[in-house]
Structure 1
Amino acid sequence: MTATASAATAPTPPPAPAVPPPPFAARATAVGGSPVREILALTERPGVVSFAGGLPAPELFDTDGLRAAYDAAFATSAARALQYSTTEGAPELRRAVAERATARGLATTADDVLVTTGSQQALTLITATLVEPGDTVLVENPTYLAALQAFGLAGARVIPVPCDEQGILPDALEEIVLRERPKLLYCIPTFQNPTGRTLPAARRAAVAQVAARLGLWLVEDDPYGDLRFEGDEVPWLAAHPGAEDRTALLGSFSKIMAPGLRLGWLRAPAALRRAAVVAKQAADLHTSTVDQLAAAHYLSAADLEAHIATVRDAYRIRRDALLAGLGEALPEGSQWNRPEGGMFVWARLPEGYDATALLKRAVAKDVAFVPGAPFYTGTPDARTLRLSFTTHTAEEIAVGLERLRAAAG
């Protein structure tokens, strides 16, 4: 009895120290978050005029047309709209993408197309398919920040290709390919993010030939190509001789319909596309069925080209308003380009200025932009900045420019 009572009152031994879980993968800590996203979070308060985000203008969304398209998707077959789908995508949406690509001069069938959850996923799938840790990837300098993140997460060695105000220099590209033996070249030839520049047709042809002669995959990202305000259309890089069997073309409905749909597409050679399908199966099985069917209904019932024309007209006015006021808003000696379309103007401040320092003063004046430094691989140009003109009216842009002038002092 005594022994039993003694055992019952014995103190409970302290728990063993908890062993922490294993560390994150190295790639998860080696790649930082997006400074652009962080800037956008700072500028969401009411009253801020933001030239920072590459966002479509929400007042231009065809909300009635898209609402009708979702109603049609449910009315036609709610069971299908709410069910699992094939990884490749809804056949009617793939056909619509193929028809639009063919109309722009690149013969395409539905079988050539994979529907993705935004074109960003298409880039992620191609990266997963082609890039192993230590592989070399070439990019324009500067380039799309999320592409740098994707390649960084894959463990790639990212090397910039020299560019001028028109984009990639083909001779420099050839020299780097011979020296570095890269796996792929990632580029945004039309209305590039962040610079707004467009690669001329002759240079596209030369890039395609370099890739064909020296053995190089090409990843052509084209989220902005439909947003041309002036000048002649330039054929896709994928349409040039030498690029046929080695180009992954990425497209998106975000800029011409609505980014909330998260719908993009990938056109690629058969073997590469099949590998990307397997990678997508591992990522998300398939893109949202209801969103795909709604988009397909929209493309069949609405006049998308008329809607795009409305968007272009609005963006042209806004671009012109931004360009007209930059001379007064930025310090004397600043330079900037005049993009023929897209969403961005690229500027460079005079010697002695730093765009990140200017941003701090600008935010205090309720105006914002994106410093150019994060878009660079290697040594950045701290004097550069990206200004988006799409999300404010001409009158609001004028107010923002006056605030920017006050911040630049």
Structure 2
Amino acid sequence: MNYARFITAASAARNPSPIRTMTDILSRGPKSMISLAGGLPNPNMFPFKTAVITVENGKTIQFGEEMMKRALQYSPSAGIPELLSWLKQLQIKLHNPPTIHYPPSQGQMDLCVTSGSQQGLCKVFEMIINPGDNVLLDEPAYAGTLQSLHPLGCNIINVASDESGIVPDSLRDILSRWKP
């Protein structure tokens, strides 16, 4: 399925930043490559050399000097390639999405890593909601959802919900009066 019709004009107009594109190329290049693009700091100047993290069960996770240099350096915008690959394999193993084998132009499954669920919600909303769009939203709603939606200029239509989720009669009432 071609999902382009669901994407806002602002999202469709976005192109990758040339600097971020160079970061991606650099991440796939040989270790001997010296990039003069992107303003990458000299990793030998990073203040942290190694780290040991102890988790609740007493196990330790050690980050050696090379891993620490990589962790503190800029990486591709979508995330560290090895992490993305691992997450895609996990999706295939657990969910086997049919779109994983589609060509990118036809909606191939992809993913990106965000710093948290709020950032993920914000990115999705900005990608698919235009000013004036109607958005059905359960009430009460998560405050972060409302904060992400308000600047987009959409019409929020509250649908009553209870401990079981959206109240069907409330949704039925709203949809019976719907004039798209």
TM-score by length of 1: 0.25
Establish whether residue 78 from structure 1 lines up as the match of residue 68 from structure 2: yes
Secondary structure of 2:76's counterpart equals: coil
- Relative to 1, partners in 2 of residues 1:180 and 1:97: Cα closer, same or farther, differing over 3 Å? farther
Residues 136, 180 of structure 1: 8 Å contact kept: no
- Relative to 1, partners in 2 of residues 1:175 and 1:97: Cα closer, same or farther, differing over 3 Å? farther
2:162 corresponds to: 164
1:102 & 1:170 partners in 2: Cα distance?
34
Query: In the TM superposition, what is the alpha-carbon distance from 1:175 to its structure 2 partner?
Result: 5.5
| Long gaps (5+) in structure 2 | 1-52, 101-108
2:25 corresponds to: none
1:81 & 1:124 partners in 2: Cα distance?
25
Deviations 1:261-301 (A, max 9, x none): xxxxxxxxxxxxxxxxxxxxxxxxxxxxxxxxxxxxxxxxx
2:92 & 2:139 partners in 1: Cα distance?
30
2:150 & 2:138 partners in 1: Cα distance?
15
Query: In the TM superposition, what is the alpha-carbon distance from 1:83 to its structure 2 partner?
Result: 1.9
Residues 88, 114 of structure 1: 8 Å contact kept: yes
1:120 corresponds to: 118
Deviations 1:304-358 (A, max 9, x none): xxxxxxxxxxxxxxxxxxxxxxxxxxxxxxxxxxxxxxxxxxxxxxxxxxxxxxx
**Of 148, 151, 156, the match for 1:150:** 148
Higher relative contact order (CA 8 A, sep 6+): 1
- Relative to 1, partners in 2 of residues 1:78 and 1:134: Cα closer, same or farther, differing over 3 Å? same
Deviations 1:135-178 (A, max 9, x none): 22111111101101110122221111132331113564365357
Taking the TM superposition and a 5 Å limit, the aligned residue runs for 1:171-250 are 172-173=170-171, 176-177=174-175, 179=178, 181=180
Residues 140, 160 of structure 2: 8 Å contact kept: no
Secondary structure of 1:146's counterpart equals: helix
2:79 corresponds to: 89
Count of residue pairs the alignment pairs up: 116
1:133 & 1:75 partners in 2: Cα distance?
48
**Of 103, 106, 113, the match for 2:95:** 106
1:107 & 1:128 partners in 2: Cα distance?
27
Secondary structure of 2:123's counterpart equals: helix
Deviations 1:216-257 (A, max 9, x none): xxxxxxxxxxxxxxxxxxxxxxxxxxxxxxxxxxxxxxxxxx
What RMSD, in angstroms, separates the aligned Cα atoms of the two structures? 3.2
Secondary structure of 1:162's counterpart equals: strand
1:331 corresponds to: none
| Long gaps (5+) in structure 1 | 1-62, 182-409
1:174 & 1:94 partners in 2: Cα distance?
41
Of stretches 156-165 and 118-127 in structure 1, the one that deviates more from structure 2 is 156-165
1:65 corresponds to: 55
- Relative to 1, partners in 2 of residues 1:180 and 1:165: Cα closer, same or farther, differing over 3 Å? farther
- Relative to 1, partners in 2 of residues 1:93 and 1:170: Cα closer, same or farther, differing over 3 Å? farther
2:117 & 2:127 partners in 1: Cα distance?
15
Instruction: Give the percent of matched residue pairs that are identical in Structure 1 and Structure 2.
Output: 33
Query: In the TM superposition, what is the alpha-carbon distance from 1:95 to its structure 2 partner?
Result: 3.8
- Relative to 1, partners in 2 of residues 1:159 and 1:123: Cα closer, same or farther, differing over 3 Å? same
- Relative to 1, partners in 2 of residues 1:174 and 1:82: Cα closer, same or farther, differing over 3 Å? same
2:133 corresponds to: 135
Residues 135, 157 of structure 2: 8 Å contact kept: yes
Equivalent residue letter for 1:130: I
Residues 138, 161 of structure 1: 8 Å contact kept: yes
2:162 & 2:149 partners in 1: Cα distance?
23
Secondary structure of 1:160's counterpart equals: strand
- Relative to 1, partners in 2 of residues 1:102 and 1:65: Cα closer, same or farther, differing over 3 Å? farther
- Relative to 1, partners in 2 of residues 1:116 and 1:68: Cα closer, same or farther, differing over 3 Å? same
1:163 & 1:136 partners in 2: Cα distance?
18
Bigger CA radius of gyration: 1
Taking the TM superposition and a 5 Å limit, the aligned residue runs for 1:253-292 are none
Query: In the TM superposition, what is the alpha-carbon distance from 1:64 to its structure 2 partner?
Result: 0.7
